[in-house]
Amino acid sequence: MNFKSIITCVSRSIFITLLVFSGLVRADYPESSVNYVVPFSPGGESDVTARHQQPFFKKIFDEDLVISYKPGAGGAVGWSQLNSMKGDGYSIMGINLPHIVIKPLQKNVGFETQDLVGVYMFHYTPDAIVVKEDSPFKTLDDLVAFAQQQPGKLIFSGSGKGSANHLAQVRFDEMAGVKSTYVSFKGTGKAVAALLGKQVSAQWGFTSVGAKHEGKVRMLAVATEARHPRFPDVPTFKELGYDLISGAYRGIAVPNSAPEHVRQQVSRMIADINSDTEFRQRMENDGMLLLDIDYDEMSAFVAQKSKEYIAAAKQAGVIK
């Protein structure tokens, strides 16, 4: 071994050591299990998506993604405690739009939207109007025509108030110039049960409802930019003349004490899971659409979505 190579070797290792100690590169992140807090009850859709990520996290990083729950007040209980957790990148929490925008505007819920450091939005479940298979509404036009003739008599079930479903209903009513009635249920499961049991005439649900209850329900339109790959036959609202792109967006946040490089690390970690083709396949099969909004794009994205949500929520009387 000649002198030169020894020098390069030593200098390289010094360089790498420096990098590691300065925290610029932590190639070994995550080096232990990561705690993933879902601020909703086990079994909800936020939990299911986290469960989808779990095995791929294990596969890619060979560490465990440990899921725990902090449900209460539509996520607010968890989010109000996020910043008291350790900002070392080993505690992360799911965040949901529109919840994190609407909740703090309704009342003091212990956090503000800008307190939450979102690092990645990894998917959204598009809103959709769902009817029963044997419903007289064959197209969106049928449904709109009924709503025009009988104001208020078109009854939708949906998950939650001030939620993605509810705001979509408000925005759609405005776009179509109709008046419908929205009945809030606790969770998508109960809203589907109300639809299948004919307690309501239609549901403001998600594409995931169309996927899960295929054969029993029909989607009239989905609130996506282009047709959903899983449902090539279902038109988008956009093609039918309503500029509605909405849904429940899910992402990952870290405590605000997390330094910049940790935020980037977590963002990359979620991106790595998102880039797994099998993961993408599974999520799309369930009716979800993957998104890749990383840490750098996050604040612009939330700001833009907030504008839409706040306008609709004011319209709905959910916030003042």
Partner 1 sequence: MLEYLFQALTPLNVMLALAGVVAGTVIGSLPGLTATMAVAVLVPITFTMPVTSALIMLGAIYTGAIYGGAYAAILLNTPGTPSAIATTFDGYPMAKRGDGDLAVTLACLASVVGGLVGGLFLLLLAPPLAEIALAFGPSEYFWMALFGLTLIAALSEANLIKGLIGGCFGLLLACVGSAAVSGDIRFTFGSTTMIGGIETVSALIGLYCIPVLIDLVSEPGRHLNVTGEQRGYRFREAIAISWRGKFNLIRSSIIGTFVGILPGAGGSIAGLVSYSEARRAARDKSLFGKGAPEGVQATESANNATVGGGFVPTLVLGIPGTPPDAVILGALMVHGLRVGPDMFNSGGSIVYTFIFGLLIATLLMLPAGLLIGRYAYRFIIAIPKALLVPSVAFMTIIGAYSIRNSISDVFIMLILGVLSWVLNRFGFSPSPIVLGLILGRIAEEGFVQSWTIGAATGDLFGMFFERPISMTIIAAITLGLFYPLMAKQIRLKRVQQELVE
Binding residues vs partner 1 (CB under 8 A) = 37, 41-44, 47-48, 51-52, 54-55, 64, 67-74, 76-77, 80-81, 106-110, 152-153, 155, 160-162, 181, 183-186, 189-190, 192-194, 196-200, 212-216, 282, 285-286, 318
CB of 67 to partner 1, least distance (A): 8
Closer residue to partner 1, CB minimum distance, 154 or 293: 154
Q: Which of 220, 221, 203, 218 is nearest to 156 (CA)?
A: 203
Q: Tell me 152's DSSP state.
A: T
Closer residue to partner 1, CB minimum distance, 161 or 263: 161
Q: Which of 125, 123, 124, 120 is nearest to 271 (CA)?
A: 120
Closer residue to partner 1, CB minimum distance, 57 or 249: 57
Task: Find the Cα–Cα–Cα–Cα dihedral 55, 58, 64, 66, rounded to 10°.
Answer: -30
For 251, the 3-state DSSP assignment is strand
Closer residue to partner 1, CB minimum distance, 114 or 199: 199
CB of 239 to partner 1, least distance (A): 28
Provide φ and ψ at 314, rounded to 5°.
Answer: -65, -45
For 255-296, give the DSSP string. Answer: -TTS-HHHHHHHHHHHHHHHT-HHHHHHHHHTT-EEEEE-HH
Closer residue to partner 1, CB minimum distance, 119 or 217: 217
Q: Tell me 234's DSSP state.
A: S
8 A C-beta contact, residue 182 and residue 201: no
CB of 269 to partner 1, least distance (A): 18
CB of 180 to partner 1, least distance (A): 9
CB of 125 to partner 1, least distance (A): 13
Closer residue to partner 1, CB minimum distance, 213 or 238: 213
Closer residue to partner 1, CB minimum distance, 157 or 265: 157
CB of 38 to partner 1, least distance (A): 10
Closer residue to partner 1, CB minimum distance, 287 or 293: 287
Q: Which of 245, 251, 209 is nearest to 225 (CA)?
A: 245
8 A C-beta contact, residue 51 and residue 252: no
CB of 52 to partner 1, least distance (A): 6
**DSSP helix, strand, coil percent of the chain (3-state; round to 5):** 45, 20, 35
Residues with Cβ within 8 Å of residue 73, at least 6 apart in sequence: 103, 109
Q: Which of 23, 1, 39, 228 is nearest to 124 (CA)?
A: 228
CB of 227 to partner 1, least distance (A): 21
